[in-house]
Homo-oligomer: A and B are copies of this chain.
Amino acid sequence: MTKRIKLNAVTVNGPTVSPGLWAHPDDRSREYRDLQYWTDIARTLEAARFDSLFFADMLGLYDVYRASPAPALEQAIQVPINDPTYLIPALAHVTENLGFAVTISTTYEQPYPVARRLSTLDQLTGGRVGWNIVTSNLPSAARLYGHAEEIPASDRYDRAEEFLDVAYKLWETSWEDDAEIVDKAGKRYVDIDKVHDIGHVGTHFSVYGTHTVQPTPQRTPFLFQAGSSERGRQFAATHAEAVFLNTPTAGATKTIIDDIRRRAEDAGRDPASVLFFPKITPITGENDEAASARFSDFLSYSNKEGIFTLLGAWTGLDFSTSDDSRKIAFLERADQRGLVESLRRKQPGARLDVDELANVFAFGTSWLSIGGPEKLADAIEEYIEETGADGFNVASVVQPSTVAEFARHVVPELQRRGRVQTEYQPGTYRQKISGGDARVRADHPAAAVALQAGVSR
């Protein structure tokens, strides 16, 4: 039996989704301040039976390239960027099944208010919320939050571990399922014996009291993570129910998936229960020729300064100054042998051909797939087969056209092949996307927290 391929659309709550493409006539990203723009997108995704819409988020400005935030600002590369969590209630109101995953950092805030926000969203959406847990890696965000510099990564992960422990206690142990009794005769709304103070005392947090939100459909929202460092993979293997990947090749995708699944197994979890979503940027049309023409058209709008701003943020390399050995290492990871060779061949003192580099990474460092319905469906099936991934994060070149065209041309072909769903499963987001229960699996650490507390849930 072939497994179902799951689909998320990935976006940001800002005016541009791909460097320079804000100038393309089909791009409507600038309408991000208008709810109607978003409700249209959500309806398109639900009609195509996408599992979810995933909002990335940034808490500061990218400033590695040219050691300045100016290129990010000038090209609107993930800035301005509005808080994406506030789109969810409005989009939930116009949809019935679409899930909403959203990035929230554990680094700068207290666990209680974050848990409360996610609980509120889970309740308002009827259990359709996912949380992409990030630890942040932007010094500019740290400075906006009052820190002189970014907190070191290992400290951020230590904090994230305890942050989740507190959140699990609030979500899974504070209110038992039958605490709300609404006993009109006995004049008791709540059975106070079934509401508990979490009494958390730890290294980073001390949190006393009961959660202010009663149990929500999922309790713990469906958990995503996207870390690729050693510590990030271990964190994902421990906590993530699904992992977003931004990997340059199918080989790199498979390596990470195998590694995290092995770690998950070591942690006592069913490795198959951790879902993986590498990013794909599809450029499609009625046939291969139309897709190629679309690609050429898009490429003519792409913007080098914007591309290097993104590459700088993702790699930590300032392509305006950094030395060739680090560039070569990055290009080797990205499987860009041609660029590596040209870099090695160039005369001492000559620069890497930035135009060529910019063309290669015009639409990101992950999988760019160009073709008509059959070609893309073939490629997608092959990628899934080769990597063990469970689906894709579909990224856009222009919004909403990229996703709309994927939904129009590629989704029906994948549906004909029986590879993507034609109807949603009932239940919460966790049930729909994982096929499991409404609540976390018994082998997940959130369930262990509940078990240890001995509360009925």
Contacts and interface: CB of A to CB of B under 8 A. Distances in A.
Interface stretch (A68-76, A219-227, A289-297): A68-76
A35 B89 contact: yes
A121 to B, nearest CB: 6
Interface stretch (A140-148, A270-278, A351-359, A415-423): A140-148
A86 B87 contact: no
B143 A208 contact: yes
A113 B119 CA distance: 19
Given A83-B117, A192-B74, A303-B187, A209 B93 contact: no
Contacts of A207: 143-146
Interface string A114-156: 0011011101100000000000000010011110100000000
A384 interface: no
Given A23-B184, A108-B113, A187-B20, A210 B119 contact: no
A26 interface: no
Given A81-B212, A124-B33, A214-B80, A195 B87 contact: no
A210 B144 CA distance: 8
B80 A213 contact: yes
Interface string A4-34: 0000000001011000101100000010010
A205 B76 CA distance: 27
Contacts of A83: 113, 116-117, 120, 213
A314 interface: no
Contacts of A110: 108-109, 145-146
Interface stretch (A55-63, A250-258, A428-436, A437-445): A55-63
A58 to B, nearest CB: 7
Contacts of A70: 192
Contact of A76 (B23, B82, B85, B189): B189
Contact of A87 (B13, B23, B89, B145): B89
Contact of A93 (B33, B39, B145): B39
A88 interface: yes
A30 B180 CA distance: 11
Interface residues of A, number: 71
A92 B93 contact: no
A189 B74 contact: yes
Nearest to A105: B113
A190 interface: yes
A64 interface: no
Contact of A189 (B22, B192, B195, B205): B22
A206 interface: yes
Given A143-B206, A144-B212, 13 more contacts: A16-B189, A23-B187, A39-B93, A60-B209, A73-B210, A74-B192, A79-B210, A82-B116, A83-B117, A83-B213, A85-B86, A112-B145, A143-B208
Interface of A: 13, 15-16, 20, 22-23, 30, 33, 35, 39, 58-61, 69-70, 73-76, 79-83, 85-90, 92-94, 108-110, 112-113, 116-117, 119-121, 123-124, 140, 143-146, 148, 175, 182, 184, 187-190, 192, 195, 205-210, 212-214, 303
15 contacts: A20-B187, A22-B189, A35-B92, A61-B210, A79-B210, A79-B212, A82-B116, A82-B123, A85-B86, A86-B86, A87-B124, A140-B209, A143-B206, A143-B209, A146-B207
